Amino acid sequence: MNKQKPVDQLTIEEATHEVKELSLQVEEWGREYYEKDNPSVEDYVYDQAYQRLVTLEQIFPELQSPDSPTQQVGAATISDFAKVEHQNPMLSMGDVFSVAELMDFNERLQRNGVDHPEYNLELKIDGLAISLMYENGKFVQGSTRGDGRIGEDITKNLKKIKSIPQTLTQPITIEVRGECYMPKEAFAKLNEQRESQGLPVFANPRNAAAGSLRQLDPQVTANRELSTFMYYVPDYQTLGVTTQSEALTALVKLGFNVNLNNQVATTKEEIADYINGYTQKRNDLEYGIDGIVEKVNDLALQEELGSTVKVPRWEIAYKFPPEEAATVVREIEWTVGRTGTVTPTAVMDPVLLAGTTVARASLHNPDYLQQKDVRIGDTVYLHKAGDIIPEISTVELDKRPADSVEYEIPTRCPECDSKLVHLDEEVALRCINPMCPAQIKEGLAHFASRNAMNIDGLGPRILEQLFERKMITDVADLYHLTKAQLLTLDKFGDKSADNLLTAIDNSRHNSLERLLFGLGIRHVGAKAARLIAAQFKNIEALMNASSEEIASVEAIGPIIGDSVVTYFNNTQVHELIQELQNAHVNTEYLGTATEVKEGPLTGQKVVLTGKLIEMTRPQAQEWLETQGADVVGSVSKKTNLVIAGSDAGSKLAKAQSLGIEVWNEEQFRAAMKEDS
């Protein structure tokens, strides 16, 4: 765009041609974003093209047509979901891209008779707009925005999101709108899972949330760890409030999850300080934001100002500028995961990006690499997808070396030289050699990991030595290691050898769900392993179960059922299970034998939020569950306790507004110590 001719210098013929070209491009990008949840360009690229089209239509109004992308809201609903007609249109917001443009918007309001209004400043959540309908306090229907007039009925899926109350604290009939989003941690985990399964990754949390909400199987939505922030009531008089800031507080009292990082502002300085503050803090938030929303705080004035066919006149979105850094690709490495997925990674000159030094970025799969056309020697621009994952956004073609050649996708495994294949139309390349050293080593590391068999001290470096020296070839061999063997390893003495042997011995007594997860069965995560183990009780019963019997377990389904049966149909797996049993590794479910203690936390709903210093989140959750607590993801009126680490945000604020007991990490550690 930077090389384009200024709009006011175009002839009518040039403008006509560009409007036609831009309209087609923006329409296509819009379909990718709104309908396919799979954009091919970054948001700011779309925004630049869209704003160029807006400017062209302003200067050449005769070129604007009713079906221009600038006159549309969202996209038409074309899915298999039932259609919902919104009682009040769900409009888009206008965008500005600098504080100066934001001040221009405010000055236009004042010129149009709005005398020094108060503004409510809110974070612009990177999610999908939703509408929730309640009748007499009961949740009856939920929908997407769609084209602003007609949305999709996704009630069943929204009922699977814990932060959406099924019953309000008051028996009122009301429509509430807000944003469904995917937390950064869940986004990173989901993409990691999809990559290992050979599936395309989501471009950002917004598309991940949208794709998760548009699942025909509500259980898929339930497993995606979505959350919500509600922020708008079309009929504000139902709440008995007069300002937007009061409306947010009222929504909290009804039981909704609300982002309370809002601020009422009246001056340019206050607005600029708020924007600058969250520009700096956005990377530290647990959820993605892509800007700041400014709303006229007076609700009656909002109503008076009204809206255009597309946007309200009383609110505007300030979009953060893209945070990017340029660097040079020096190599493309291919690594083999434990399921055989072969993943390309760009190795680049180190560069500072969003507060951290980045020298590597995943290229996910061959299709992605070829779509981006990344080559060795290319100058590329990096950004962080979801403010967390380093990703190449574009290649600077003007700086591409003259001798550049298209990167050739490998056909053989970089570890074992076996032929690489695509399975089941996956986008991923896979090595299907079961004896591939890389897969075996990755599988061993997974087996020993904290959430699996939890063999403390058995890290990748030690496993590498054990494997290279042929002391182990599979997980069963771990249980036959001797002290004499361990003492031959680098930097191993009597104490470290004894500690590792003790950790290995302790792992024999784990409950079945840890073993199931540790075996690395495709699609079987820690939660699925626990549910399956609790149902079948022992490994023999599970090995004899049909895929239908496994799929019938609540929250499991046919994909996991088929995967488990396929895994246990392998004769080598039967031999491995027998070896583990011969080594006295437990294959029974011990859940009922190690059930929770009775105490003050038994039956209590507890929320963990913020960063813990002395322990990890999984460690904290594990201890709470042993005490009988139900660890939940969102704060509501039913929450009994919130444990807040550093940088706790909206969950802490909501807990305080509801009068819920809050512990800091020191208090939490004291409770753990008291129990020990």
Active site positions, annotated: 124
Secondary structure class of 185 (helix, strand, coil): helix
Query: How far is residue 644 CA from its own chain's centroid?
Result: 21
302 class by beta-carbon count within 10 Å (0-12 exposed, 13-18 middle, 19+ buried): buried
Rg value, the chain, Cα? 28
Token pair of 634 as six digits: 């969102």
Which residues are bridge partners to 144 per DSSP? 130
Terminal CA-to-CA distance of the chain, rounded, Å? 63
Secondary structure class of 91 (helix, strand, coil): coil
Longest Cα–Cα distance of the chain, Å, equals: 86
Rounded-to-integer distance, Cα 608 and Cα 643, Å? 5
Buried b (16+ CB within 10 A) or exposed e, 448-473: bbeebbbbeebeeebbebbbeeebbe
As separate numbers, helices (DSSP H) first and strands (DSSP E) second, the chain gives: 24, 22
Closest by Cα among 256, 231, 234, 227 to 246: 231
Rounded-to-integer distance, Cα 461 and Cα 459, Å? 6
* DSSP element (H, E) containing 391: strand 389-395
Closest by Cα among 339, 354, 286 to 644: 286
For residue 428, the tally of other CB atoms under 10 A from its CB is 25
